[in-house]
Amino acid sequence: MKYLSYKGVKNFYGIDHDSDLRAVIPPEISDRFECADVWEVLESNKNTGWDRVVLLDVLEHFMPEYGFLLLSLIAKGLKSRGKVIIKVPNGGSPWGMSYQMGDLTHKTAYNSESLRQVATACGLNVDTIYNQRRGSPRRMFTDAVVNRFLSWALLTPPPFLGANLYAILSLK
């Protein structure tokens, strides 16, 4: 949220169920953050017309049917050119599974295909899915070499080997 404020975005609102986050939210944006239940927020803000909804490390915390419900309710509240940005651990990658399995609150693992399936079922179009790129130029080069080797060596390599996936979704 601080990033959005720094970039000049004036109309934003953040929620999280973890009330401990309130202590680390910068005072200048604390009026735009609420510790709240996502279902109550979605119900109370129906059809308000969101430009962007960002779910970073959120979707994997829901069972598949609730992930579907969450995205369906978000889709109903999107403006016609609105976008949903999602980040999840990459369930198709051995590196992503360490993130997925390292948090006992994670309920569902996603890979690029399951993200496409849930988005399509919710009436959303998948604009793009991509790996999270992290680290120094040397680290990214090493990752690219290892990924190229694994793509060659594995019988059925996953489309994305990065530890995390990003997806950008829009209305159909």
User: Could you tell me the CATH number of the domain that includes residue 103?
Assistant: 3.40.50.150
Check pLDDT > 90 for residue 132: no
79 plus 29 within the same structural domain: no
Least confident of 13-17, 65-69, 116-120: 13-17
Beta strands in 10-163 (DSSP E): 14-16, 33-35, 50-56, 78-89, 124-131
- Interatomic CA distance for residues 166 and 9, integer angstroms: 21
Least confident of 5-14, 22-31, 68-77, 127-136: 5-14
What percent of the chain has pLDDT above 70? 97
Check pLDDT > 60 for residue 24: yes
Q: How many domains does the chain have?
A: 2
Check pLDDT > 90 for residue 47: no
20 plus 54 within the same structural domain: no
Which bin fits 135, alpha (ψ -120 to 50), beta or left (φ > 0)? Answer: left
The pLDDT, as a whole number, for residue 119 is 97
Q: Which residue range is the domain that position 14 belongs to?
A: 1-36
54 plus 27 within the same structural domain: no
pLDDT digits (tens, 9 = 90+) for 80-112: 999 999 999 999 998 888 889 999 999 999 999
The pLDDT, as a whole number, for residue 45 is 65
State mean pLDDT over 119-135.
Answer: 93
Indicate whether 42 belongs to any domain.
Answer: no
- Interatomic CA distance for residues 106 and 11, integer angstroms: 30
Query: Strands 78-89, 50-56: parallel, antiparallel or unpaired by DSSP?
Result: parallel
